[in-house]
Every structure is written in C-alpha cells, then in structure tokens.
Structure 1
Amino acid sequence: MSSNFIEAMTAAAARAPGAALAVASDRLPCTTTLGDVVAAGRRMGTRMTAAGVGRGDIVACMLANWREWLVVAVASAQAGGVMLPVVTIYGAKELGFILRQSGAKWLFTPDRFRNVDYAQVVADCGDLPALERHIAIGPDFAALEAHGPIADPVPVDANDLALLVYTSGTTADPKGVMHSARGFLAELETMRAMRVGGDDDAVISPWPPGHVAGALSMYRFLCQGTPLILMDQWDATLAAQLIDRHKVTSSSGTPFHLSGMLAAADTHGYDLTSLRQYLVGAAPVPPSLIKRCQAQRLAVYHCYGSSEHPTVTSGVLDDPLDKQLHTEGRAIAGSEMRFVDDDGHDVAPGEDGEICTRGPELFLGYLDPVLNEAAFLPGGWYRTGDIGRLDEGGYLLITDRKKDIIIRGGENISSKEVEAVLLAHPAVLDAAVVAAKDERMGEVVRACVVLAPGGSLTLDEVRDHFFSSGIAKQKTPERLSIFDELPRNASGKVLKHQLRETG
C-alpha cells in the first residue's frame, strides 16, 4: 500500500489511466479519466508550490461533486498541503469559523452555485488573517491546471495530517477531525476488500464531498481507480438513470436515497439490475424496503462509523436477513470495540454501554486539542457517544444516542448550535432542540421554546430568523412547540427525553 496520498494517486493513474469519471451536473458536466484528473492536479500543485503553498498548509475546498474537487485534492497532495473539504451549503457563520480555526491558506469555491454568490459568502465571513487566495471556478482555476511542467511532489510523512474534515457534533461550532494519509488509505483498503465487484466495479455516491462518506468515494477513485459517477445535488430519478446508463454496481446512502431511487426506477422504467450492493449508514431501514431489494437481488446492509472513525462495523452480503434488518453488522478487520459506563469502565457482556473504538482508520484527534480530553479513554479508545451492545453473534446493536445531535438525511446537526440561534430571537426566553421523527428525512429539527412575556412566534418567523443568521439551511427547525416551561432536573439540565415524548 502507498504511504501517502500523492503516491497512491500517481500509482493508480499509472495502473488505470483510463478509469472513468462521469459528472452529471447542470453547472459543470463532464466525462473524463483518472489520468486526466491526476495530471491536471499535479500541474496545479506544482504552481501552488511556486506560489508559496508548503508542507502542512491548509487548502480549503468548498466545491460540489465535480471534477474540479478531485483536481484540488490531487493538487493539495502534490504541494504537501492538507485537504480541507467544506460542504457547499455552509453559510458565512460556519465557513468563517472553519477558515479561521484551520488557518486555511487557499480557498477554492464556485463562483455561483444554487443561487449562492460565494464571493459574497466569503466577504461576509469577516476577517480571515491566514487566507491568502480565494480562487473561484473560472479563468483563475483554469490557469492553475493548464498544461505546463510537473515537479516532484513535496515529500510528506504518511502519519502527517493530510485531510481535515469538519463535522457537526455536540459542540455549537463544527469540530475539525484530523486524518493522516495512512489512516485514510487503510480505510480505502478495507473498502476494496469488502466490495462485491471486480474489474467491473463502478460507484455512484449521493454524499457531498465535504462529508467523510463523500470524500471516501472521491479518494477511492483517485487512489484506487474505481470508476465514479457523480451528481452535484441529489435527484432520485437522475440517480436511477445513471445507474442504468453506467451499469453501476455499488452505492451508499440513507433509506431516503434508496427508496426514492427505487420508486423512480419503477416510474420511469430504468434498469437497476447492475446494482449489487447498497450500504446504509446507522439509520433504521424499513423491513419492506429490505425485502423489496432482496426481490431484485440487491444486497442492502448497514455499516456503523463516523467522521472520526469512518467504518467500524459493516454487514456483508451473506448476512441473515434479520441481521441486515436489525444490526450494524460486525467489526471490520482491524477495528476493535468495547462498551463502557459513564465512568469509562467496561460493562458486562451483552449489556448496553457507550461504544468505544480503535483501529487503523481512527482519526489523529481534533484540531482543537481541548476536545480530545473528553473524546478518548486511556489506550487510544475513541468515545463515540453512541450506546449499544453486541448480540450473541457479535453483531452490533445501536440502542441509544448519548450525543446531542440530530441526523437529518444523513447530516449531523448540533442541537447546541441551533439552540444558540433560537435564543438570539427576541421572542424566545428559553429553548431546547430535539430530533423529531420524519418519514422522508429520518429526523428533522424540532424547536421547543418558552416565549418571553408578551412574545409570539410562528414557524415562518423562525425560518426568517435562521435565514438572516447565515446558518446552513438544513439546520432550520421544521417543527415548533411552545411550552410554558421546559422540563429540567434538579441541577437545571433540560430533560430532552421528556421533550421527545411530547412530540
């Protein structure tokens, strides 16, 4: 296995230069090859080095699922930099925090995408003392990747920080999750060993590349040459059409993605028989959906992981149906799990406990070192914040969530971050945010508020308030409940389990 990203990318391009990339996009459609992408990225990286980007410098990339994202990833590796993918839906609040905390030196964005003017978003971020260049897709980007010399890559160590991913969690601000090339490449090797296909394997991914799942699909193409089909925004009908056209063999997503795709195929007559496996993150999959997939010989199974530890457990093709329906699979090769109580002591086998993990894919730690103290137990065990146990067959069962987050369509949303925006509204005296079940998205944000004396509040007013705050749109509450007072314990902590029961 290659020791760093640029070695893996150049080796893959030499081995499979014609590996196909297809991007279905109204904005930047293209069909190209791995050889083209790696060469363009190495030319760009050579120019970045000449412009002063050096080993360990942060290169932020706020691009969608486009060829250009892949070019920037190669360029960052060529220059010895650290790739920082940022989801395109973030507003100035999130982007400004990420750029300031990371000290990003360069930033790549669209000029406009989904009616967003990214120059204005960056301007609204305020002071960004470390940022030297903001490159929008257009002539400046084209000049960086234009034909020219390619220098030797800047040497880096496999254990250096190579990829920085920001994730929403229990803190109000996004958390910077640090990965080495060695750890991320180990994850890719695990994915290679688990895949069903062989030389005909082809992948379609609905995940934005600012998330670890989307980044994995992009790096799988770059470092292994697995053909990749991309969409820059989710469209179930287009996904079904692309699977039919490109004979896609594997994909991943949420039940929302899978059910929509199957329905679109039925409606429009698309052939999905090439699709052999579909990996679903830790979200309930209706038994009717699993059985429907089985009828067309599509294996659907769960996996469990996070931005910090991308894959801990996974199902496999020959798992019994009840394990596919009700568990997250078993530990993958190299991954370890233990289950602890609130004091960090192991619980008895078969009892529920907080899931702690170790393995070669585990992250290096958080960029903010203050967060690491609570995140790890002695021995390098990562505290996931999820509660679960192993069944008698060694399959993982997730039974509760210790983390105060909402998972909307696969997107983690910090309750504290949403609560802080709610409390800034003049009509709100007290607020708490919980997950509300939703058939389409799995969970949505439910705001539980106590009004200030004489105050009033509607859901439309909440939406207007969140829009003006600059926060990402998906974090806006979709349910609103008004309370005379929030239930609290003797120490003043809001009893969120009681709030969930009222919704």
Structure 2
Amino acid sequence: MSFIEAMIVAAERAAAAPLTVASDIRPCTTALGEVIAAGRRMGTRMTASGVGPGDIVGCMVPNWREWLVVAVAAAQAGAVMLPIVTIYGAKELGFILRQSGARWLFTPDHFRGVDYDRVVADCGALPALERHIATGPAFDALEADGPIADPVRIDPDDMALLVYTSGTTADPKGVMHSARGLLAELATMQATRGGDGNDAVISPWPPGHVAGALSMYRYLCQGAPLVLMDQWDASLAAELVERHRVTTSSGTPFHLSGMIAAADANGNDLSSLRQYLVGAAPVPPSLIARCQAQGLAVYHCYGSSEHPTVTSGVVDDPLDKQLHTEGRAIMGSEMRFVDDDGHDVAAGEDGEICTRGPELFMGYLDPTLNAAAFLPGGWYRTGDIGRVDADGYLLITDRKKDIIIRGGENISSKEVEAVLLSHPAIVDAAAVAAPDDRMGEVVLACVVLAPDAALTLDDVRNHFAGAGIARQKTPERLSILPELPRNASGKVLKHALRQTA
C-alpha cells in the first residue's frame, strides 16, 4: 500500500482511536477519523494548488495534531513528507530546504520563544519554496470543511518520507524512505511487541526524527491510541501514563529514568506500562535492573534513520540479554560483519555492522553519498562495530562513526569542531562524547588555545549561540589542553580523548 491507502483503511477500521496532545499551546483530544478527514481536505487543496507526486512538503511542527494532519495531506496529494526538527536554526533549515527543494513548509507561529517567520527569513534565498504556512488561521483554512477528492495514486516503492540525519558530516544527509519500507517497519514492530494492536503509546520523540515520525505513522496507519507531549516533562509523562493507562513506550535512558523518578516522587501508578524500548543511547544496567524489579520489561533496540530497526529485544528475553545486548534481528532484517575492506570477518569476531531488510532506506537524496554507504548486494554500512553472541543477540562494541549521541540525537563532531575553530582564541579543537547520567552522552570540547588566550565554557556557549546552530550541539564540557594527541600521520586520537572524558 501507499501511505494514504493504509491511512484510509485505518480510519475505516479504527475511526475512534484516541489522540491526546498535552501542550500549553495546542492541547487536543480527538480521534483518528477526524485527523484523517482533516488531512484529506488539506491534501485535496494541495492538489488543487499544484502540489503533486515527488513534491516535497516540509513540516517543522512539534508533537501536535497539526503534524499528523500535514502527514495525511502530503500522502493524499502524493507528495513527500519532510519532517524537520523544530530546534533547528536558520543554518540547518536553510540547507535542508534548499537541498530538498521543498515547495511548501509548515511551522508553528511561535514555539518555545522562537519566531518561525524570522527563522525562515534568516535562511536566505529559498528559490523552490512557494508557501510558508504557520499554525493558526492560514493552517485552519487549509483543513476547513470542504470536498475530499480521490487520493493521488503513487507506487508504494516511490519516496514517501524524506528525513534528515546529521550523520558524520557537517551538513545533514537526506534519507529517502518508501511507504512500503516504513509500513513493513510498523508491521514488524507490532508483531515484535505483541499485544492486540490497541496498546496505548506515549512518545517522547520529536517527530523531526525517524523514531518520532514512526510513532505518528503508527497512529495514522494502524490506529494505535497515541499520547503526545510537545515538550518533555518527566512528571507530566508519569501522570499521562497513569491517566491513559499507557502500555508501551520508548525513549532514551534520560526519558525513562526521569519518568520513574517523577512517579516515585509524586505517587503515580505506572503499573499499566508493560514494556519500554530503549534505543539511541547507552543504557545503565542499573536502570534496567530497577525496572525489572518493578515488573517493567525494558530492552534495547538498534537502528538508525537509514534502517529504523535492525534488532530488538522482547519482553521474554532473559535479563542478561536485556541488560547487555541490543536484542536479535527483527523479522526480515539481516546482518553481516565486515572488515575495513568489506570482507566478512570470522564468526564471533568484531566487524562493521552491515544490514539489509524491508525497512532499509532507498538511498540518500545526494546520490554521491551512496557509493560509500553500501556494499554490493544492497548491504548498508552502518559505521558501527559489533558482533553477535552464540544466541544471536547483537553486541555493539565500538562506534566507527564520529558522532556524539546526546539524548538520542546524533551530533556531528566535525560540525562542532568547525564552530570551535572559528573562535579567535582556539587554534586546535576536537569534539568527543563524554558520558553523562542524564543524556547518555554530551559534547566535550577539547581545545588548544592561542598564546596568552583565555577561554571559559560560557565563552564557548556564547560563541555557539552566535553561530546560529541548534542548542544541543553546544559543548557542555570544556577541556583545555597543551596539544591534542595525534598518531604518526597527524590524526587526532579521539579514543584517547574519550577515555580521558
């Protein structure tokens, strides 16, 4: 099926599936049938305005009902949905809009102190962008009562979602997904989780990331009850789990530990929560053990924007597997482990993880990136190092990619380093991950200063604020060194810096 076909079927089968949005700005309680109808009306108007198959519709909206409406509208018009992280500044947004050629862009009017008209204006020339629609009267007019046309038909193998990931380069990478691939992901994960398909879900993931977008599409295409928050609040999350009898959730250790601590402090009942999928960050074994003692099954998964889920634990996994592995390959996914030349390593040895499966992306929007990303046979090179144990469970042992994973967000070390080196007091710099109890990892700036120069962490923060990039990329720790450790060829020994961190 295409997305719109799956959505129409879901609306017929589960029109009453509830949606709850906890927000100080756009709170909402509604049902799937209403969301699908509003989106199809908007999509009908998109088609009448000339938006069609292959056109890109950007959506820089937080976890609101409006994001879901835009996703339906894009599918109705046969267009490609482009979710964008709401915290991106003009630098990232401008790059994404120009490279993707997005014709329409949806944003809030204001959100968390940001004026989105100003952000778009600061992007500079956007030759392909025809319309910028902010939530409010302009948005409401597009979904107002009116006719619903037959949906524009597209092939399920055509690009339906374009999501950007920072990866390991300074500029984000456009990751192309088809409806067939993402619907396969949803079906497989539903089978992996078990239950009756009506388990209530609470999602802390911003919908600009693939994990957040998939939570939204799970509601739209499967009708699983959904609870959303537009800003993370651990106490509110615990309250919502109790009020809506939420059964399933996912997040980082930061989300899980905060929610449990809040429930303990406020007396919330989390007994309905049966399983919690933790991905995108290292998980302290003590946290999983604590949840296990409370009857909450917590297990890991492994995936990426390019291949959303490769492996996953399940509720019935032995405790040691929940604690120390990323689970086993999900239905249809394959893994192999190779050396630097792309040759298979011996069974049980560490190698770069390469993956295939129905959920694998179609390739990057920039085709020049694909040659390095794939091995013959369509195997995706993840850049992570690992192996499987005797029982088939994946262990991640190293990270080939030079990224920092802060609370599930991939941060490019190269991009951070470029901003650091633009500071007049810094003559050499490296950015590495430092362990952090709340976020899993944070950015550590290791710098060498010019003679007689001085630098504080506040100086670094002010410099990054002036550079116009997302706040989470700003270093949270600073190490001033006489020189950076390097090997004989001059390459910075980042493993040594990480060990020091």
> TM-score, normalised on structure 2?
0.99
**In the alignment, residue 465 of structure 1 is paired with which amino acid?**
H
Q: Could you tell me which of 219, 227, 251 is aligned with 2:249? A: 251
Where does residue 225 of structure 1 map in the other structure?
223
Distance 2:495 2:54 in 1: 44
Where does residue 159 of structure 2 map in the other structure?
161
Q: Cα distance, 1:199 vs. partner? A: 5.3
Q: Cα distance, 1:282 vs. partner? A: 4.6
Q: Could you tell me which of 400, 405, 408 is aligned with 1:407? A: 405
Q: Cα distance, 1:318 vs. partner? A: 1.0
Question: Is it true that 1:242 corresponds to 2:243 in the alignment?
Answer: no
Distance 1:194 1:283 in 2: 21
Distance 2:489 2:111 in 1: 47
Where does residue 465 of structure 1 map in the other structure?
463
Q: Cα distance, 1:288 vs. partner? A: 2.6
Counterpart secondary structure, 1:72: helix
Are the equivalent residues in 2 in contact too, given 1:196–1:277 (CA < 8 A)? Answer: no
Q: Which shows bigger deviation, 408-417 or 486-495?
A: 486-495
Q: Could you tell me which of 436, 439, 447 is aligned with 2:437? A: 439
Q: Cα distance, 1:502 vs. partner? A: 2.5
**In the alignment, residue 368 of structure 2 is paired with which amino acid?**
V
Question: Is it true that 1:356 corresponds to 2:354 in the alignment?
Answer: yes
CA distances 1:156-180 after superposition (whole Å, capped 9, x unpaired): 1111010000011110011100000
Q: Cα distance, 1:36 vs. partner? A: 0.3
Q: Could you tell me which of 133, 136, 148 is aligned with 2:134? A: 136
Question: Is it true that 1:149 corresponds to 2:147 in the alignment?
Answer: yes
Are the equivalent residues in 2 in contact too, given 1:436–1:443 (CA < 8 A)? Answer: yes
Are the equivalent residues in 2 in contact too, given 1:282–1:328 (CA < 8 A)? Answer: no
Distance 2:84 2:492 in 1: 32
CA distances 1:25-58 after superposition (whole Å, capped 9, x unpaired): 0010000000000000000000011111111100
Aligned pairs (5 A) from 1:268-307: 268-307=266-305
Counterpart secondary structure, 1:42: helix
Distance 1:423 1:138 in 2: 41
Counterpart secondary structure, 2:443: strand
Where does residue 88 of structure 2 map in the other structure?
90
> TM-score, normalised on structure 1?
0.98
Q: Which shows bigger deviation, 493-502 or 55-64?
A: 493-502
Where does residue 33 of structure 1 map in the other structure?
31
Counterpart secondary structure, 1:259: helix
Distance 1:255 1:432 in 2: 26
Q: Cα distance, 1:351 vs. partner? A: 0.3
Distance 1:438 1:419 in 2: 20
**In the alignment, residue 27 of structure 1 is paired with which amino acid?**
I
CA RMSD of aligned residues (A): 0.9
**In the alignment, residue 296 of structure 1 is paired with which amino acid?**
Q
Where does residue 205 of structure 1 map in the other structure?
203
Are the equivalent residues in 1 in contact too, given 2:62–2:206 (CA < 8 A)? Answer: yes
Are the equivalent residues in 2 in contact too, given 1:256–1:409 (CA < 8 A)? Answer: yes
Counterpart secondary structure, 2:78: coil
Q: Cα distance, 1:216 vs. partner? A: 0.6
Extract unaligned runs of 5+ from structure 2. Answer: none
Q: Cα distance, 1:501 vs. partner? A: 2.4
Are the equivalent residues in 2 in contact too, given 1:314–1:328 (CA < 8 A)? Answer: yes
Distance 2:157 2:202 in 1: 29
Where does residue 11 of structure 1 map in the other structure?
9
Where does residue 54 of structure 1 map in the other structure?
52
Q: Which shows bigger deviation, 420-429 or 79-88?
A: 420-429
Distance 1:254 1:356 in 2: 24
**In the alignment, residue 489 of structure 1 is paired with which amino acid?**
N
Counterpart secondary structure, 1:171: coil
Where does residue 44 of structure 1 map in the other structure?
42
Distance 1:285 1:53 in 2: 44
Where does residue 417 of structure 2 map in the other structure?
419
Question: Is it true that 1:488 corresponds to 2:486 in the alignment?
Answer: yes
CA distances 1:208-260 after superposition (whole Å, capped 9, x unpaired): 00000000100000000000000001000000000000000000011111111
Q: Give aligned-pair identity as a percent.
A: 82
**In the alignment, residue 394 of structure 2 is paired with which amino acid?**
L
Where does residue 182 of structure 2 map in the other structure?
184
Where does residue 63 of structure 2 map in the other structure?
65
Distance 1:468 1:223 in 2: 41
**In the alignment, residue 299 of structure 1 is paired with which amino acid?**
A
Q: Cα distance, 1:298 vs. partner? A: 1.0
Where does residue 381 of structure 2 map in the other structure?
383
Aligned pairs (5 A) from 1:366-381: 366-381=364-379
Where does residue 333 of structure 1 map in the other structure?
331
Counterpart secondary structure, 2:262: helix
Distance 2:483 2:380 in 1: 36
Counterpart secondary structure, 1:342: coil
Counterpart secondary structure, 2:404: strand
**In the alignment, residue 405 of structure 1 is paired with which amino acid?**
I
**In the alignment, residue 484 of structure 1 is paired with which amino acid?**
P
**In the alignment, residue 59 of structure 1 is paired with which amino acid?**
V
Where does residue 390 of structure 2 map in the other structure?
392
Distance 2:101 2:167 in 1: 21
CA distances 1:308-351 after superposition (whole Å, capped 9, x unpaired): 00010011111110000000000111000000000000000000
Distance 1:134 1:284 in 2: 38
CA distances 1:423-458 after superposition (whole Å, capped 9, x unpaired): 111111111100011111110001111112332211
Counterpart secondary structure, 1:17: coil
Extract unaligned runs of 5+ from structure 1. Answer: none
Are the equivalent residues in 2 in contact too, given 1:221–1:227 (CA < 8 A)? Answer: yes
Counterpart secondary structure, 2:336: strand
Aligned pairs (5 A) from 1:120-131: 120-131=118-129
**In the alignment, residue 216 of structure 1 is paired with which amino acid?**
L
Counterpart secondary structure, 2:256: helix
CA distances 1:53-76 after superposition (whole Å, capped 9, x unpaired): 111100000000000000000000
Where does residue 264 of structure 2 map in the other structure?
266
CA 1:348/1:282 → structure 2, altered by over 3 Å: closer, same or farther?
farther
Distance 1:284 1:418 in 2: 21
Distance 2:53 2:282 in 1: 43
Q: Could you tell me which of 469, 472, 475 is aligned with 1:474? A: 472
Distance 2:136 2:282 in 1: 42
CA distances 1:375-420 after superposition (whole Å, capped 9, x unpaired): 0000000000000000010100000000000000111100001111
Q: Cα distance, 1:196 vs. partner? A: 3.4
CA 1:246/1:404 → structure 2, altered by over 3 Å: closer, same or farther?
same
Q: Could you tell me which of 337, 340, 343 is aligned with 1:342? A: 340
Counterpart secondary structure, 2:478: strand
